[in-house]
A = this chain, B = another copy of it.
Amino acid sequence: MVTMAEVAERAGVTKQSVSNVLAGKSVRPETAAKVNAAIEELGYKPNLLARSLRTGTTMTFGLFVPSVADPFYSSVVEEVENVLVRHGYNLLLATTRHDPEYARAHLENLTARAVDALLVAGDAGVVQQLPLLAAAQFPVGLFAWEVDPPQSLPVVSIDYEAAGFLAGRHLRDLGHRKVAVVASLPFHAPRVAGLRRAFAADGLDIDDSMVFTPASDDASAGFAAASAALAADPGLTAIFATRDVLALGALDAVARTGRRVPEDVSVVGFDDLALVGHSEPALTTVAFPTREMAQQAVELLLRAVDAGKPPTNAISLLRPSLTVRASSGPPPSA
């Protein structure tokens, strides 16, 4: 690798001048010209490691997600990276796999000055590591945190309870009374609570026996959980799934029992993934502004990095909305 000293020698100036040219500081034009020529001839690239060691800043942003295979979190990664590119930051990605040990190991790694800031998406597997997160030397933010957001760190999230309420009110207004829930508990408890609140307004309740927890957040687990729900109560008229991937499995589960969506059973999901507009039938789902959330969270942290102080400690809850498509309708009896 060619070094700054070699560039300086070639240009007949000191390293200092080379550094100044690179940093865009005011330099005599002919010096700049000589330096740039030397950089060009030698194909010089500044060593970012050396710069980082000196400046204490790495231009690298850490992001933790439970899984990238999960379409919701992969969209988070995409939106975060969009913002980072604009700010000239690199993305260091770590997958926590809903596992506190993975989260801890990655965190210990990053603590050693590897990132300028860290955004942690999803609470599963990270709840146990809050003390480590709070003790980090760099700004840390929490993203899409659902259960009891901690006070100690800034949070950018969704009003999950309100989101569940939107779905519940929609089903209730359509006339549904017998609803099953497919929910990844305990993490999706607020969504279920919102759903229940919508029904409670009419004096209705969703029995605990009609809440089914899938083994994981994917279509197969959603299929299995929804199949169990349909078997448990053949008279149910609607299924609310707390993730679109689960809802896709539920659509299949309903079809396999020979029933139609939405004529016999309505299905409502949560996430509004790009492809659920083309499922059969197109999925009614709760949507939220992932892009705006990502932008807000990343910029909160980058501002803190620039200012050299901790980020504003606040909780910001983005508002969900309901996207009504073909998978929901009145119950058969109505």
Q: Which of A44-89 contact B (CB under 8 A)?
A: 45-50, 52-53, 58, 60, 67-69, 71, 74-75, 77-78, 81, 85
Inter-chain contacts of A77 with B (CB < 8 A): 68, 74, 77, 93
A91 interface residue, CB < 8 Å from B? yes
User: Which of A25-33, A110-118, A206-214 has 4 or more CB atoms under 8 Å from chain B?
Assistant: A110-118
User: Which of A168-176, A190-198, A245-253 has 4 or more CB atoms under 8 Å from chain B?
Assistant: A245-253
A275 interface residue, CB < 8 Å from B? yes
- In the complex, are the beta carbons of A274 and B109 less than 8 A apart? no
A71 in complex: contacting residue of B67, B71, B137, CB < 8 Å: B71
Q: How far is the CB of A102 from chain B (nearest CB, A)?
A: 7
- In the complex, are the beta carbons of A48 and B81 less than 8 A apart? no
- Known pairs A78-B95, A219-B277, A251-B278. 7 more at Cβ < 8 A? A46-B112, A48-B114, A49-B53, A49-B113, A69-B75, A90-B114, A248-B275
What is the interface of chain A, defined by CB distance below 8 A to chain B?
1, 45-50, 52-53, 58, 60, 67-69, 71, 74-75, 77-78, 81, 85, 90-95, 102, 105, 108-109, 111-114, 137, 218-220, 222-223, 245, 248-249, 251-252, 255, 274-275, 277-280, 282
